[in-house]
Amino acid sequence: MNPKISELLARIQHMEAEIELEMKRKRAELQADFEETRVRFEHEVLEQQRRFKTGLLAYILSGSLLTALTAPVIYAVFFPMVLLDVAVTLYQAICFPVYGIARVKRSDYFVFDRSHLAYLNLLEKFNCAYCSYGNGLMAYAREVVARTEQYWCPIKHARKIMAAHPYYTGFVDFGDAESYKRELEALRTELNKLDKTHE
C-alpha cells in the first residue's frame, strides 16, 4: 500500500480512538454504567429522563395523518430485511470457510440498548429497535460483501465512490494490472487473518 495512504489511515484510526474516548467521557457525565450489553442509569438520571417521557396515547395522537399512512410501508420493509439477514448469514456460513475468509460475527453489528432510556415510550422503543435492526443489518451485510469483494475483486474504481468500506483503501489502483497480479493472493490471505473474534 502507498506509504502516504498508510500514514493517513493511521491518523484516521487515531482520531477514531479519540472520538471513542470523548464519547466515553460523555457517557460517564450522564452517569450511565455500561455493563457489556446492558445499560444501567443512576436513579436520579432515570427520574430526570422520565420527566421527558410522552405517554403512548399522547404520542400516537400527536402524529400526523401522513405518518399514520406511511407507517405500514415502513414496517413492511421488516420482511425483506429478515430475508436479507438469513441470506447473508447462510451465504457467509457456506462460502467463507471454502475461501478461507474469517466469518463476520453477526452479533457485533446489532445493538439494542435504547430500550433502557426512560424518556422513550413503548412505541418509540419499538421504533428504535426497528432502526437498530435495519442499520445493524446493513452494516453486517456490508462487512460480508466487503470481505467478498476483497477476495474476488480488490480493485479500486476509476471514479470516487461514496462511503467506501474500510478495506477499499487497500485495494489496488484501477488499471494497475501488475499490482493486481502481485497483490491478489496477499489481499486474500489478509481476510483469513482478520480478528478471530469476528468468526
At 197 the pLDDT is 42
Residue of 185 and 12 predicted with greater confidence: 185
pLDDT band (50, 70, 90) for residue 41: low
pLDDT band (50, 70, 90) for residue 156: very high
pTM of the predicted protein model:
0.74
Assess whether pLDDT exceeds 90 at residue 145: yes
At 199 the pLDDT is 43
- The answer to whether the beta carbons of residues 141 and 88 sit under 8 Å apart is yes
Closest CA relative to residue 154, chosen from 181, 172, 141: 172
d(CA 46, CA 63): 26
Assess whether pLDDT exceeds 70 at residue 195: no
d(CA 79, CA 161): 29
The position carrying cell 429497535 is 129
The enclosing H or E element of 50 equals helix 43-50
Assess whether pLDDT exceeds 50 at residue 122: yes
**Cβ count within 10 A of residue 109:** 19
**Cβ count within 10 A of residue 171:** 21
DSSP letter at 31?
T
pLDDT band (50, 70, 90) for residue 45: low
